[in-house]
Structure 1
Amino acid sequence: MLHGENGRDGDFGEKPTKRNNKTIFSIVITAFLGLLNFSKLAVIAKLLFGLLKASKFAGTFISMGLTVVLYAQIYGWLFAVGFVAVIFVHEMGHYITSKKLGLDVSAPTFIPFLGAFIKMKSMPKSVREEAITAIGGPVAGAFITFVCLGLYYLMSNPYWAGLAYLSAFINLFNLLPFGSLDGGRISKAISPFIWLIGLVMALFLIWKLHAYILLIILFFGVYEVITMYRQKSVTTQYLSVAPSFRLKIGFSYLMLIAVLAFLMMYSLDISKTFTDSLHIR
């Protein structure tokens, strides 16, 4: 009886050993498979990073991501993504028109809380080319504003109306006819004297709306005016443009201002109507 119990004890002693061996074996296999999966993920991640590094838009995506993260801490993710996307479309308008003219430009780069820009590696040969590259941004901006309004009517979500207002406002602001703003580049092809109107408008916005970012625009704008005045012969040749183009770009500029102003007021009216309806309920 004792022997039998000892025998059983011996049996019971062997069974845990087998289980332990199986457990260890399964852990090793699981770890090995996990290592394989990790190595696959590492390879995929390395491949994606390599493609991103080789891409001309690597800096764009990285600076966009950083800008979204920073804006999201203050305004929330939904606003941050929409706001950055609107600016991206605007900058791609500049990028595409520049490429069509054969200009060597960089992909858009974002600067948090200041906006975005494309670097001109080869400068426009005339004010005509400069005006075309400048107007490409607001045209793309007007297009994405229409898209936002279309999404609002499809989804009945006030977020899209708000984003449409923001898009229209940003692009309309950029059409201010002074300095390095898009309006300054476009109006230079119509008549450089329009910058005087832009200067007055910029000073008014700084004083009335505290748009202090315009101080930077003013500084570089004044510097550009001084440079053009000092290089009169070069400036005269650069500003020379066919009257037909002057008429076309002038008409396009005014139409763009009118369309964006309408879209801004219309989308604001939609947002207010929605807000009022919530208060009534």
Structure 2
Amino acid sequence: MIGDEKSYVEDIVEKPKKQSPRTIIGILITLILGLLKFSKLAVIAKFLLTLLKASKFAGTFLSMGLTIILYAQIYGWLFAIGFVGVIFVHEMGHYVTSTKIGLDVSAPTFIPFLGAFIRMKSIPKSVREEAIVAIGGPAAGAFITLVCIGLYSITGTPFWAGLAYISALINVFNLLPFGFLDGGRISKAISPFIWIIGLILAIILIWKLHAYILLLIVFFGILEIISMYRNKAQTALYLSVEPIFRFQIGVSYLFLLVLLVGLMMYSLDISTAFTDSLRDMR
């Protein structure tokens, strides 16, 4: 049988034909032109593949690169890189705080037009751990917002003021005290009843600003409330935390919220003032 199969394969497979020098040169020219045409994408792809082999952040770099490319088609490369950059810093805040308290988490993963997340491989043992992980993101977000404002002060480039505003806005949104948002995880350690305020705010934002992404957050938040109510004993144990920590996380939450709102208003003011000055010069 083996001999028959071999002869059958030899019959149906033709020996490769020799290419003439002209044909080979033509193929090479075509390939070179193709590479020149897509040189930018080739460089980006090569860079991403190098990072892909580097570390556990391979998926992060790959998803970041894809997100940047997609955003760049709509908003331009500069904004795409800056926008993805501030989200990356926010997520790294979660990653660092998670590893500091001994939780096993994945590196950040980006989902174009939805944001980014880190996946919990080990579940927090208490609301204390959950709050520490949650506050790391906005804390890192406040830091990068200050960096952007500092770069605006040094360079006078309005891009940095605009990026500071976007960074502050993203982090303020995440501090909404409800559901799986950072503010929901932090406020749960202060008092679960703060979620009532968060739910009201979410409904107002959906109604007034048409922030329909909050519908998903409201839905899962209500499911979590139902789950906590059904498992009262486990919930009470999970929510048990020292009064001093309640105070510390509460002060930290309010400080971050006030700081980020202030930075958001300031960055909007300086970017608007710059735009107005250009309009007056015309």
**TM-score band, normalised by shorter chain:** 0.7 to 0.9
What is the distance in 2 between the residues matched to 1:51 and 1:153?
33
Are 2:188 and 1:188 equivalent residues in the alignment? yes
Secondary structure of 2:116's match?
strand
Give the corresponding residue for 2:9. none
Q: How many percent of aligned residue pairs carry the same amino acid?
A: 74
What is the distance in 2 between the residues matched to 1:203 and 1:220?
14
1:209-264: CA deviations, max 9, x gaps?
A: 01000111111111111111111110000000000000000011001000000000
Give the corresponding residue for 2:172. 172
Runs of 4+ in 1 over 3 A off after TM superposition: 45-51
Q: Which residues in structure 2 correspond to 1:76-225 (within 5 Å)?
A: 76-225=76-225
Secondary structure of 1:110's match?
strand
Secondary structure of 2:53's match?
helix
Give the corresponding residue for 2:41. none
Secondary structure of 1:134's match?
helix
Secondary structure of 1:71's match?
helix
Secondary structure of 1:180's match?
coil
What is the distance in 2 between the residues matched to 1:108 and 1:203?
29
What is the distance in 2 between the residues matched to 1:201 and 1:185?
16
Give the corresponding residue for 1:227. 227
Q: Structure 2: 5+ residue runs without aligned partners?
A: 1-20, 22-27, 29-44
Give how far 1:50 is off.
7.1
Q: Which structure has the greater CA radius of gyration?
A: 1
1:30-80: CA deviations, max 9, x gaps?
A: x9xxxxxxxxxxxxx999947623621111001001111111111111111
Amino acid at match of 2:117: F
What's the TM-score once normalised by structure 1's chain length? 0.82
Amino acid at match of 1:151: L
1:173-223: CA deviations, max 9, x gaps?
A: 000000000000000000000000000000000010010001111111111
Amino acid at match of 1:58: A
Contact 2:48 2:62 (C-alpha < 8 Å) held by counterparts:
no
Amino acid at match of 1:145: T
Are 2:252 and 1:252 equivalent residues in the alignment? yes
Are 2:277 and 1:277 equivalent residues in the alignment? yes
Give the corresponding residue for 2:68. 68
Secondary structure of 1:122's match?
coil
Give how far 1:141 is off.
0.2
Alpha-carbon spacing, 1:159–1:184, altered in 2? closer, same or farther (3 Å): same
Amino acid at match of 1:85: G
Amino acid at match of 2:114: L
What is the distance in 2 between the residues matched to 1:103 and 1:232?
25
Provide the aligned C-alpha RMSD in A: 2.0
Alpha-carbon spacing, 1:267–1:100, altered in 2? closer, same or farther (3 Å): same
Give the corresponding residue for 1:59. 59
Alpha-carbon spacing, 1:249–1:50, altered in 2? closer, same or farther (3 Å): same
Alpha-carbon spacing, 1:195–1:46, altered in 2? closer, same or farther (3 Å): closer
Deviates most, 64-73 or 83-92: 64-73
What is the distance in 1 between the residues matched to 2:179 and 2:51?
37
Amino acid at match of 1:184: G
Aligned residues: 241
Amino acid at match of 1:205: L
Amino acid at match of 1:246: R
What is the distance in 2 between the residues matched to 1:207 and 1:184?
20
Alpha-carbon spacing, 1:236–1:86, altered in 2? closer, same or farther (3 Å): same
What is the distance in 2 between the residues matched to 1:65 and 1:46?
11
What's the TM-score once normalised by structure 2's chain length? 0.82
